Amino acid sequence: MIRTMLVAAALACSVGMNAKALAGEGALFDSHDPLALVLEAPWRRIMRKRKDDPAHEGELRYEGPDASHALSVDVGLRGHSRLEFCRFPPISLNFKRKQATGTVFDGQNKLKLVTQCASGSRYRDHLRLEYIVYRTLNLLTPQSFRVRWVEIRYVDSEGKRRDKAEPGFFIEDEARMAKRLGLERISAKRLDPRHVDEHYLGVITLFQFMIGNTDWSIVTGLRGEDCCHNGKLLGSSGVESDLIVVPYDFDQAGLIDVDYAIPYEKLGITDVKQRLYRGFCRTSARLDEIIDQFATERSAILGLLDAVELSASSKRKAVRYLEGFFDIIGEPEDVERRIERKCRGT
């Protein structure tokens, strides 16, 4: 069903990164070099059955330094708001582990692929900014999801859609992240913030304030789902304290400012670009050291905007938005008014 084609064709697409060579072998998330891929699947059928969310057989191909690789994968769609609004929603890929042995996907089982929501430079900038958001959190704490930029040529295995070349990025699998951190996944309907590691809680809540994201919760899940909304709950075996909630899914952040982003009406803000601190008062004693940590990483955080080729206007807006955050944390009066007075109990 799947046609054979030279993976080298994928190299013809522009990588959209700053003069970096396309990567070969090595652990998937140990490099930030772009990875060129061909993903072949029955895309027309996949897109027609979006609401049914079926998995379809596909093939993922790439050119390693010594050999070409072709891996069988099950391809499915995922997401909530993006599944509804995006012309090309995010994808999940299920690998056959034996096939992946010895490749850049060695040990991978299921991966999330964040795609470009729709065609055009604006949507490409949205994708690049979300990638940078993940990289920013990596700078602040290793207890975060790692990501890998990819340039993909999408090929329809039934020949009913034209080939499409667009970027995307993989997100580290939750189970593999937990293993990397020496932690375990925890299931809970509701979480008491007092059980979360205090310093980590302060870092991730200030981080969410920095990027202007309010689409998260470390207390409950969404519509009856397990905790936590847009966060993965991890901890040590048999220990109920010092838990962490690793955030993900930042498309609603004001820094990115996608068309479909709408703040929750009960928060009292009308635009996602409006920053609202949703941290907890229990971290106030550590606020100065956490602010110092962010200030120390200021140059590195802003420097990440040079890691991708944003349009001039998007880059100006992103720099201005992040500089606005650093202006706030640099003024004690603003810290008190915008952060300390807005903290939540427990």
pLDDT digits (tens, 9 = 90+) for 18-72: 433 344 456 899 999 999 999 999 999 888 766 666 789 999 999 988 889 999 9
Fold of domain 183-342: 1.10.1070
For 335, the token pair is 């810290």
Rounded to two decimals, what is the model's pTM? 0.91
User: Crossing angle of helices 287-296/312-329, nearest 10°?
Assistant: 150
Written as tens digits, the pLDDT of the chain (346 aa) is 443 333 333 333 433 444 333 444 568 999 999 999 999 999 998 887 666 667 899 999 999 888 899 999 999 998 778 888 899 999 999 999 899 999 999 999 999 999 999 999 999 999 999 999 999 999 999 999 999 999 999 999 999 889 999 999 999 999 999 999 999 999 999 999 999 999 999 999 999 999 999 999 999 998 888 999 999 999 998 888 999 999 999 999 999 999 898 888 889 999 999 999 999 999 999 999 999 999 999 999 999 999 889 999 999 999 999 999 999 999 999 999 999 999 998 7
Backbone dihedral angles phi then psi of residue 8, each to the nearest 5 degrees: -60, -20
Question: Rounded to 5 degrees, what are φ and ψ at 146?
Answer: -85, 160
Q: What's the pLDDT at 17? A: 43
Ramachandran angles phi, psi of 280, nearest 5°? -115, 145
Q: Where are the alpha helices (DSSP H) in the chain?
A: 43-48, 81-85, 97-100, 121-140, 174-181, 198-211, 287-296, 298-303, 312-329, 332-334
Please give the Cα distance from 346 to 344 (Å, whole number). 7
Half-sphere exposure (Cβ direction) of 163: Cα atoms closer than 13 Å: 14
> Judging by DSSP bridges, how do beta strands 231-235 and 244-247 pair with one another?
antiparallel
Domain with CATH 1.10.1070 in the chain: 183-342
